[in-house]
Each structure stands twice: as structure tokens, then as C-alpha cells.
Structure 1
């Protein structure tokens, strides 16, 4: 009977208010006092569904995609629409280049120069008392950067050339004699030496300084001086009459002299040209 009473009283206490439930409860029955510590009652609340308004600007993926697409369009716009085109002539040949402005002082350039450069310099050259007729077929694609460090007409350039230059030489004996490295080779009248030169470097770094004054808002002129490191040269020289032993010896000596000349290692860059800016 006592157990039933205690159960009923406990149920009543647990159903009371939350404030009373937090306080200890004392129950007295037949002079026996029992203390119960009431557990706090957990009350569940059901939240009303909140309305949600979509914010288009808050979409991270959407915004990132827009930035990527916009940046890609800007990149292709610069590539398709260059800042300038130029025509040039110089020691690397006849050519042209396209420029893209990265900022007011920096321009990226891609170009090509080539052709028969020997025609620009008379078509012959003297090497150690031997006069060679030169036939050159140049191909020099290049990629570089033009800087205007002071923001005026003065420029500095640097880049890489991918040289593919064919240089053919031919020499005829004067009075039947080739003089090479202070030694005379009596080869007889009509003997000739023929050969070719090839630079060893497949990539040639270059540097230039120059000027680029603007004539109008769109047209300008430019000139550049510098050098490209083409590396050592491989020379091949042969006598047109291989049965003439002296001529064969002269060809070997001429081959050595051509490879030893340092001016073939550093290709001078001298160019003039005109530019049209968009």
C-alpha cells in the first residue's frame, strides 16, 4: 500500500510546473519522511518553418564560375586583340612581331626574323685573310619582353630565340694560294673551298637596349642594339677537288679557323623598324 501511495505522489510531483520540479520534494507517510530529488522536465518546442529568400550573390560556386569565365574572356580578348604590330629589319633578318601590353611599362612580344641576311651586308666576309662568299638562310622565331623602365622612349628587352640558321660559305684561291693562319697553301688556280656553319645552341638568350619614340598616337619607330648568345659553331669545309692534297689540308685549316672565331658565338643584334599601335 505504501508503494502505491509513493508512486501516485511521485507522478503528481513530476506533472507539476517546471519551477517546482526543480526543487526537492519531501513526502511524509506514517511518520516516515522520504526525500525525492525531482529531475528537470524537458520541454520540446516545435519551431515554425522559417521562410528562406535566395540571395543570388551569395552563391559561392556561381560567383567563382563567373570570375573564371570573366578572367578567361579577358585573357582571350588580350590574345586576340594585341596592342601593337611591328615590322623590322636587322642582323637577324627581315621580320615582324606582335606585342601585348601587360601594363604601361611592360609589353610581351612574339616575333620572327629571317631570310638571306648576307644580302644586307654585301654577301661576303673575310676570315683570317680568306674571303668567303656567304649565302645565309635565317629563321629566328623569338619570344621576349620589352620594358620602358622610365616610362619614356628608352627601352630594355630580353628573351629567347629559337635559331635555325643555315650559313653556307665559299672561297676561291687568290692567285692559286690560300693563306690561313699565316700559312700559304699552294692549291693552284681555280681551286675553291666550300663549307657550312651551324650554331650549337638550340635556344639563344638575348638582351637589347633601344629607343621607341611615338610619331603619332598610332605610329612609332624603334631601334635596338644587343646580342644573342648562339654558342659555339660547328663548321664543315671541304675542297672541291678532293684529289688535291694541299687543297684538302687548306680546307681542314679553314674549318678550324671558322670554328675558333668568337664573333660567331655572339650574334650581334642591330634592328630598325616601325610600329603600329591599336
Structure 2
């Protein structure tokens, strides 16, 4: 029994040495010695190198979540420019304008130092801006207008200075009322003289056929301060051919028509139809001239 006791004691000493000098608990009864090594095991678990290794791995792998993959990718794509959303809700400028398209205003969004998107509207009664009348062959017409020209376009500064080039689309909805003025006692239409008194008043309307009208301009946009600037543009919009409707106030009456071959009688309604054809053949303002001046405030 002494041998067994010595062996047990030796094993306990070795175990305690391997367990970093943790003291074993030895219980001795009358015949046997029993060694409980619970305490060294607990110490070994608490000092387990794995826990230290785990903390060492976490430290170099620490990552700034605020600079995640999505944010980094967005920055790489857009660089220092505005996002589409920020650009939309933060316009770069507002402008007021007057010209052949009417009186109006526009809002501009800068994409970069050379490119600006514009959305605007111009309209109203602008007939007086170009004299209030026009000639269709030998007949002079007074004009009243009610223009509505919403547009969307782009302004370029190709040389990064005052010089600009513009292009875009107009959605025209322009009402043009015309009234023929007699020359002396007659209306002269397509080389035929119609008695004006018998014809009565010739009035009508004109409408452009194009529902979308492309336009182009060149101009200048100098700044006159930190925020204010002025601009001027010239160009043209392709409005397309015109449809005309002309009626006579003496509808159903006979009118004396004089030609090189003598005189004849025609219906007043036929005189109105002749005036319609002449207006449409002239293609009045098929290419609508664009001349505008304005002022700009930049944010």
C-alpha cells in the first residue's frame, strides 16, 4: 500500500508541475490516496493560448465600417462630383429671359464646369416683339399671338469662357391669329385682285405642325459679379410647316376678281381658301428664329 501511495503522490506532483505549479487536492483515507486535479484544469482553461490568439487575429482585421465597400465604390465612380439626387434638388442657377419665343424663365443644373442642363418656359403675346405683322406675298397680315414654349436643353462652354453653344427640344403650343390688310381697294392674292369691300374681312389662325421642335443656339454668358450674370443667344427652332385656316366675314357673297384676262365673279369663301394656300405655301416661321436676352442668378 505504501508503494501505491508513493506512486499516487509522484503523479500528483508531476501533474501539478505541468499545470504551472497549481496545488493539487489530495484526499487520503485509511488505505488509499486519491488525487483531484480540478483546480489545475480550470487554470489551464483560463490561460488557454487560443483566447490570446483570437484577440491577436481580431486586431489586425479591424475594419472601418463607415468606409464600406459600397461607399468606396460610389466614391470611385462619382469622384468629387454631385450625385444625381443632389444635383436635382440643388440647381446651379435661375434665369429670366425675353425673346422671340416669349417672356419666360429657366432653371439650370451644372454637371461640370462646361456643361449645364436647362429646363424652362417662354411664352405670352410676343407679336409686338417682331413688329406685330408680316407679309405673305402681296398681302400684309396683322398678328396676335399666344405662345407657350416649354423646353429642355443643354448649354455648353466648349472653351470654358463666355462663349456658349446650346441645343435642345421645345414642345410648342403656339396660337397665331392673323387678319389680312387690303392694299387699296383690293386683296391681291396669287396675282389676282379681289374686291376688298365685297370680300369682307379675312381672318384666320395658323398652327405649326411639329409637336416637338429641335433647336440650336450660340451665345455669350458673362458674369457681372459673384452671383449675377447676363446672357444673349441667337439661333433657330425647326417648327415645321404651318396649317392655316382663313374665313371671310362675307361668306356666301360674290366677289369681283380681276386678272390680266379681265374680270370674273368668285365666292368670298374661295378668296379665303386662296389666302389659306398662300399662307401655307409661304411656310411662315417654319424655322422659328430665336433671339433672347436675359439675366442669371447663380447659387
State the TM-score, normalizing by the size of structure 2. 0.70
Structure 2 segments unaligned to the other structure (5+ residues): 1-49, 256-267
Structure 1 segments unaligned to the other structure (5+ residues): 1-47
Higher mean displacement: 253-262 or 102-111: 253-262
Distance, in Å, in 2 between the alignment partners of 1:64 and 1:97 is: 35
Distance, in Å, in 2 between the alignment partners of 1:230 and 1:223 is: 21
Is contact 2:199–2:253 with CA below 8 Å preserved after alignment?
no
Instruction: Give yes or no for the alignment of 1:101 onto 2:110.
Output: yes
Distance, in Å, in 1 between the alignment partners of 2:164 and 2:284 is: 25
Aligned length: 230
Is contact 1:157–1:208 with CA below 8 Å preserved after alignment?
yes
Which secondary structure state, in structure 2, belongs to the residue aligned with residue 255 of structure 1?
Answer: helix
Deviations 1:212-249 (A, max 9, x none): 11111211111101000011111111111211243222
Distance, in Å, in 1 between the alignment partners of 2:161 and 2:66 is: 46
Match of 2:69? 63
Match of 1:272? 293
Is contact 1:220–1:274 with CA below 8 Å preserved after alignment?
yes
Query: How large is the Cα RMSD of the aligned pairs?
Result: 2.7
Match of 1:143? 152
Which secondary structure state, in structure 2, belongs to the residue aligned with residue 235 of structure 1?
Answer: strand
1:214 corresponds to which of 223, 227, 235: 223
Is contact 1:57–1:63 with CA below 8 Å preserved after alignment?
no
Deviations 1:137-176 (A, max 9, x none): 0000001010111111111000000101111111243444
State the TM-score, normalizing by the size of structure 1. 0.75
Distance, in Å, in 1 between the alignment partners of 2:66 and 2:293 is: 54
Distance, in Å, in 1 between the alignment partners of 2:175 and 2:150 is: 14
Is contact 1:173–1:189 with CA below 8 Å preserved after alignment?
no
